[in-house]
Structure 1
Amino acid sequence: MNLNPLAAALNADLEANGASILQMLSQKGKNIFFPSKGILGQGAEAKGKEINATIGTALEDDGSPLVLPCVQKSLNLPKTAFLYAPSYGNPDLRDAWKAQILRKNPSLAGKNFSRPVVSAALTHAISVAGYLFLDPGDKVIIPDLYWDNYELVFENAYGAKIETYNTFKNGGFDIDALEAALEKDGIGKKVLLLNFPNNPTGYTATEEEAKKITEVLVRAAEKGNKVVALLDDAYFGLVYEDGVTRESLFTKLVDAHKNLLAVKLDGPTKEDYVWGFRVGFISFGFKGATAEQLKALESKAAGAVRGNISNAPSISQKILLAAYQSPEYVQEKEAKYAVLKKRYDIIKETLASHPEYKEAFEPMPFNSGYFMCVKPKGVDAEAVREELLKNYSTGTIMLKGLLRLAFSAVPTSKLPQLFDNVYRAVLALTK
């Protein structure tokens, strides 16, 4: 395959000043570019002309979008919301999200990272990362308690192989296991994914653990490895205990080493409770990154979006932008956080007040997010899941021999009953 001149120019930017980022890209990542000279580029050049016969939209004679009234009446939005968004994303929303990242992660002040590129929610951002950084046969290092959709994205779609390491040791994150996984197979490209708060366990690294994880990744980079750290921040901000890191690992990794590329994958889906909007973001940073290099990574991400879905939903982006500009946004978000925090507190109280539950199941470490997990004792987790469905009218998810309990979706008053049902179901199967 001949390399497009636009891709070659982006690759040259990424190699400038001795940077090693190009070596981290997959072959697809090296080949991809944003088609700034094609239909989109020519359309941009024609913007504002008296007659513009370039872009495939339909307009009224007055220049406004041609929209069905029965569709528009359902939305309190201007007609412009019906137009395509750029493949990079709505520029105002990109800036608003970057401002949010900075507000929620004050340690990023003064640090250099890219303007976020908009994806069709976080799963698509993960897929874009797979496109850019994974060739068939490449390994992705992930804790052994992970969201099963990573398999579809990394293995089925891109032909990579997930390699796992032990998640927990002594009630906390197993940092030694992470370092051992990075040391395996010698020096080379290392792609890893860290997900805090974690799905399925609802665990976020403590401040001390976050510091040690950073040290492990920097040591790997110092040895000559080209480290791509994918940070799945889907549940960012939903932390319920003191001593747990409240900032993304992106803050520590974004300027940690020239051989360490931090890729932040985030979005409003879980943070802002807009699951059906399908908007996410992907941001990049590494030590010594120039504006041109960050722009090149943005262009490659936008090219992957353009070649896959064209662009993320414009209507969702418009609604989110309006929300972020609303003076009520922060207060309303705090109120919703309080709902989840109360449920978390009730779970902790319920487990503490029922020591007999330890006979039937072991709670996995949890301190954040939407979920927590329990490990049934003396019986198969799938059998417990089926028993709960059949005799207790209770639905759970079985993953990796654990039961995942989404307390985010359970009415506060029913949380004690949920754990009592699990207890009774395990006993019923072990008698």
Structure 2
Amino acid sequence: MNYNPLAQSLNAELSANGCCVLDMLSEQGKAIFFPRKGILGQGAEAKGSDINATIGTALEDDGSPLVLDCVLKSLNLPKQSFLYAPSFGNPDLRKAWKELDIKKNPTLATKKFSNPVVTAALTHAISCAGYMFLDAGDEVIIPDLYWDNYELVFENARGAKIKTFNTFKNGGFDTEALKAALAASKSDKKVVLLNFPNNPTGYTATEKEAVEIAKILTECAAAGNKVVALLDDAYFGLVYEEGVTKESLFVKLVDAHENLLAVKLDGPTKEDYVWGFRVGFMSFGFKGATEAQLKALEDKAAGTVRGNISNAPSISQKILLAAFQSPEYAQQKAEKYAVLKKRYDIIKQEFAAHPEYKDAFEPMPCNSGYFMCIKPKGVDAEELRQKLIKDYSTGTIMLSGLIRVAFSAVPTEKLGKLFENIYNCVVAMKA
């Protein structure tokens, strides 16, 4: 493939001084670049000119955005919020999110990693990662209990192949299965996706398990493999038990080895309860990374965004930035966390108060997030899901033979009834 000179320049940075990150990129990842000499670059050069006829926006004669009053009156925002955001994202929001990442993961304060690039929510960040790192036929290694949208993103859209390994063993994360899956992969490029708290199970690795996961991936990289660790941190921070790792795996992997590229995929969607805002982030890090190399990865990520959606919503970014800068942000976030933690605690109390439930279903390991899963005993999970809707007016999700319960969406006073309905339904089906 003939690469654009701008892509060639980025690729040169990613292979300089023995860096192997270029070998981790897909063909499209190698070819992508941010068009600094195109419309956006030329527009940036003209910024501040007395007459600026570069960017495709519409302005009033006073220079303010030309906006419909009926749209403006529904939003308590300045007119500037209606303009395009950069493909890299609002620079103030990028800075604020990096600062929040460090605050939420204090160990990151001593580590070097890229500035986050803004995407149109976390699914788009995952899709961009697929674009950058996966060619058709490449494998992406994922636990066998995973969010089904990964299939659309990686297999249908990229032509990659999902290879799964056993998620749980003895009530915890099966680190041995992860190690075996890496060993079984015939490629020397290992793309691994880990999602904590996990969707669908609501499980986060314990601190001991997190250390072991990092050790396994680092040893795989030290053996000469190129390891790309995609970390889906959609539900980050929603941890309800002691002993569970409080920091992202990104902390342990961001400077673990020269052959290991850590890619943090996160955003406010779930952890800040703004599902419809559609804002996410991509951050990169590897041992020995230079500022120029991290900037090259940012450019490739921003080029991927530019070539796909141009940029993420400006209004959402403005609102989020204002929220993050609000003195009330931390307290209000803690209050919402308490709501979910209370529901989680009530579920544990319900199971303790109803030992008979064990005859109908087995709760899967859960300690965090929005969800938990149960494994029905003696009945088909899909038939159970359908009967719960028909006879008990109770909606759940069936995934991989399990029933996923989004306790995040169930009023606190209805949690007891929810599991009572599931128990009664299983008993009725067995009868």
Tell me the TM-score range normalised by the shorter chain: over 0.9
Match of 1:124 in 2: 124
Measure, in 2, the Cα distance between the counterparts of 1:419 and 1:185. 40
Superposed displacement of residue 187, structure 1? 5.5
Contact 1:361/1:377, CA 8 A, preserved across alignment: yes
Match of 1:56 in 2: 56
Structure 2 letter corresponding to 1:330: A
Q: Where does the alignment leave 5 or more consecutive residues of structure 2 unmatched?
A: none
Structure 1 letter corresponding to 2:318: K
Match of 1:344 in 2: 344
Q: Where does the alignment leave 5 or more consecutive residues of structure 1 unmatched?
A: none
Match of 2:75 in 1: 75
Match of 1:310 in 2: 310
Measure, in 2, the Cα distance between the counterparts of 1:365 and 1:422. 18
Match of 1:356 in 2: 356
Match of 2:164 in 1: 164
Match of 2:290 in 1: 290
Match of 1:21 in 2: 21
1:10-41 CA-partner distances (Å, limit 9, x unpaired) = 00000111011000000000000000000000
Match of 1:190 in 2: 190
Match of 1:278 in 2: 278
Measure, in 1, the Cα distance between the counterparts of 2:352 and 2:298. 48
Structure 2 letter corresponding to 1:423: Y
Measure, in 2, the Cα distance between the counterparts of 1:185 and 1:33. 30
Superposed displacement of residue 405, structure 1? 0.2
Other structure's SS at 2:262 match: strand
Match of 1:320 in 2: 320
Superposed displacement of residue 109, structure 1? 1.4
Contact 1:187/1:224, CA 8 A, preserved across alignment: no
Match of 1:397 in 2: 397
Other structure's SS at 2:245 match: coil
Contact 1:88/1:311, CA 8 A, preserved across alignment: yes
Measure, in 1, the Cα distance between the counterparts of 2:190 and 2:157. 19
Superposed displacement of residue 2, structure 1? 1.9
Measure, in 2, the Cα distance between the counterparts of 1:60 and 1:191. 49
Match of 1:377 in 2: 377
Measure, in 2, the Cα distance between the counterparts of 1:264 and 1:283. 5
Contact 1:24/1:189, CA 8 A, preserved across alignment: yes
Superposed displacement of residue 229, structure 1? 0.2
Structure 2 letter corresponding to 1:94: R
Match of 1:113 in 2: 113
Structure 1 letter corresponding to 2:6: L
Superposed displacement of residue 139, structure 1? 0.3
Match of 2:208 in 1: 208
Other structure's SS at 1:389 match: helix
Structure 1 letter corresponding to 2:53: A
Measure, in 2, the Cα distance between the counterparts of 1:89 and 1:297. 15
CA RMSD in angstroms comes to: 0.5
Match of 1:44 in 2: 44
Superposed displacement of residue 185, structure 1? 3.2
Match of 2:220 in 1: 220
Measure, in 1, the Cα distance between the counterparts of 2:234 and 2:312. 17
Match of 2:422 in 1: 422
Other structure's SS at 1:372 match: strand
TM-score normalized with structure 1 length: 1.00
Other structure's SS at 1:109 match: helix
Match of 2:367 in 1: 367
Matched residues, number = 431
Superposed displacement of residue 110, structure 1? 1.4
Is residue 248 from structure 1 mapped to residue 248 from structure 2 by the alignment? yes
Measure, in 1, the Cα distance between the counterparts of 2:14 and 2:295. 9
Measure, in 2, the Cα distance between the counterparts of 1:2 and 1:59. 39
Superposed displacement of residue 316, structure 1? 0.0
Contact 1:24/1:228, CA 8 A, preserved across alignment: yes
Contact 1:379/1:426, CA 8 A, preserved across alignment: yes
Measure, in 2, the Cα distance between the counterparts of 1:167 and 1:220. 19
Measure, in 1, the Cα distance between the counterparts of 2:187 and 2:398. 36
Superposed displacement of residue 162, structure 1? 0.2
Superposed displacement of residue 186, structure 1? 3.9
Superposed displacement of residue 262, structure 1? 0.2
Q: How does 1:92-107 map to 2 (within 5 A)?
A: 92-107=92-107
Other structure's SS at 1:162 match: strand
Measure, in 2, the Cα distance between the counterparts of 1:42 and 1:235. 39
Structure 2 letter corresponding to 1:33: F
Structure 2 letter corresponding to 1:405: V
1:385-429 CA-partner distances (Å, limit 9, x unpaired) = 011001101000000000000000000000010001000000111
Match of 1:411 in 2: 411
1:228-253 CA-partner distances (Å, limit 9, x unpaired) = 00000000000000000010000000
Measure, in 2, the Cα distance between the counterparts of 1:96 and 1:427. 52
1:232-287 CA-partner distances (Å, limit 9, x unpaired) = 00000000000000100000000000000000000000010000000000000000
Contact 1:187/1:223, CA 8 A, preserved across alignment: no
Structure 2 letter corresponding to 1:136: A
Measure, in 1, the Cα distance between the counterparts of 2:187 and 2:369. 35
